[in-house]
């Protein structure tokens, strides 16, 4: 019987197969075959309800630890914690590095009076073909639009602690009844409620609730960022120099698209900031 790993606690795996969940153990020799298990894995279960094999993954994320993902839903709040464009573009870069399509949702929009920053972000994301959902308690149409993107897909939700990931999941389907954390004004961050990655079956697909985190470090080099920054992942091939960093190089396809308005100037400023914080690829040999 084939099933999908939804969660694990204390070495016991919850498997979903044909609408039924089972609590199972893995066969002991899997570890010796170098077949580690992770949330999202498709596995084979024998008649004793023991995991005997793991099917080949189409992809795998290190953080949050999960596999066989169709899309990432990046959830950010506009307040508490404050909206971070830098973190959004880090998430999008991370998605591109792993070749996983991504969506962006902003929560607590009902608490905003000045939409200038949000409108700029919306236009910038539109330029690179990324959907943005503006979510608030008094607007149901955006939730309905978001739900339509989740059918028949495994969607992993990523975002800071306290942005409302679990609240959003409960809004999508109250039956999930996920525990909701709070935002601490004193700490300037949210309080963890979700401790582990868990997949929740939804409309012939799955929604992945994940622990939040305050930052995301991209373990890459400048040259990698030039390839994977959102909107640049195909254009860099058209640059005059194969190792173009889109700064002062001549005949840079990225700079040209920024000048003609096809790419965002604001996003480019974020790119330059991130670029300045990364080492060159050649520096990997330095101690």
pLDDT of res. 31 = 62
Determine the straight-line distance between the first and last CA of the chain, rounded to whole angstroms.
50
DSSP string, 29-41: GGGGGT----TT-
- Residue 124 pLDDT > 50, yes or no? yes
Q: CA torsion, points 49, 205, 57, 232, in degrees to nearest 10?
A: -160
Report the distance separating Cα 60 and Cα 43, nearest Å: 15
Of 55, 56, 73, 54, nearest in space to 64 by CA? 73
Q: Give pLDDT tens digits for 253-273.
A: 999 999 999 999 999 999 999
Say whether 190 sits in a helix, a strand or coil: strand
pLDDT of res. 22 = 95
Structure tokens given for 251: 């005949």
> How is the chain split into domains, by residue range?
2-56, 66-209, 222-285
DSSP string, 129-158: T--EEE-BTTB-HHHHHHHHTTTTSEEEEE
pLDDT of res. 34 = 60
At the topology level of CATH, where does 66-209 sit?
Rossmann fold (3.40.50)
Is 2-56 a CATH 2.40.50.140 domain? yes
Q: Give pLDDT tens digits for 159-186.
A: 988 888 888 998 898 888 776 544 333 4
pLDDT of res. 216 = 81
In eight-state DSSP terms, residue 172 is H
Asked if 68 and 99 count as a contact pair (C-beta separation under 8 A), the reply is no
The matching CATH number, chosen from 3.40.50.970, 1.10.40.50, 3.40.120.10, 3.20.20.80, for 222-285 is 1.10.40.50
Q: Bigger pLDDT: 281 or 280?
A: 280
- HSE-up (13 A, CA, CB side) for residue 278: 21
Q: List all residues 6 or more positions away from 94 whose beta carbon is below 8 Å from its beta carbon.
A: 216, 218
- Residue 190 pLDDT > 80, yes or no? no
Burial of 163 per CB tally in 10 Å (0-12, 13-18, 19+): buried
Structure tokens given for 225: 């960022």
pLDDT of res. 187 = 37
Report the distance separating Cα 22 and Cα 12, nearest Å: 10
- Residue 191 pLDDT > 60, yes or no? no
Using alpha carbons only, what angle is made at residue 77 by residues 67 and 276, rounded to the nearest 5 degrees? 75
- Residue 196 pLDDT > 50, yes or no? yes
Asked if 236 and 225 count as a contact pair (C-beta separation under 8 A), the reply is no
- Residue 287 pLDDT > 90, yes or no? no
pLDDT of res. 182 = 47
Using alpha carbons only, what angle is made at residue 23 by residues 22 and 26, rounded to the nearest 5 degrees? 115
Say whether 251 sits in a helix, a strand or coil: coil
pLDDT of res. 33 = 61
């Amino acid at each position: 019987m084939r099933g999908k790993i939804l969660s694990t606690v204390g070495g016991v795996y919850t498997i979903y197969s044909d609408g039924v969940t089972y609590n199972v153990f893995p066969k002991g020799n899997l570890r010796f075959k170098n077949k580690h298990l992770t949330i999202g894995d498709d596995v084979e279960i024998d008649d004793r309800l023991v995991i005997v094999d793991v099917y080949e993954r189409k992809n795998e994320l290190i953080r949050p630890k999960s596999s066989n993902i169709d899309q990432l839903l990046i959830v950010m709040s506009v307040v508490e914690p404050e909206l971070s464009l830098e973190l959004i573009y880090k998430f999008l870069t991370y998605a591109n590095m792993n070749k996983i399509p991504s969506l962006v949702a902003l929560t607590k929009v009902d608490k905003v009076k000045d939409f200038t920053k949000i409108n700029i972000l919306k236009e910038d994301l539109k330029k690179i073909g990324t959907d943005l959902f503006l979510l608030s308690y008094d607007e149901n149409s955006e939730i309905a639009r978001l739900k339509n993107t989740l059918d028949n897909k495994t969607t992993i939700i990523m975002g800071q602690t306290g942005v409302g990931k679990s609240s959003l999941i409960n809004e999508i389907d109250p039956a999930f009844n996920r525990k909701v954390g709070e935002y601490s004004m004193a700490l300037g961050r949210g309080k963890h409620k979700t401790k582990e990655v868990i997949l929740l079956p939804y409309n012939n697909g799955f929604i992945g609730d994940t622990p939040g985190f305050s930052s995301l470090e991209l373990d890459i080099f400048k040259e990698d960022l030039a390839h994977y920054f959102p909107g640049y992942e195909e254009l860099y091939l058209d640059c005059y120099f194969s190792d173009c960093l889109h700064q002062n190089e001549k005949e840079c396809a990225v700079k040209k698209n920024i000048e003609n308005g096809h790419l965002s100037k604001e996003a480019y400023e974020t790119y330059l900031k991130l670029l300045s914080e990364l080492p060159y690829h050649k520096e990997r040999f330095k101690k």
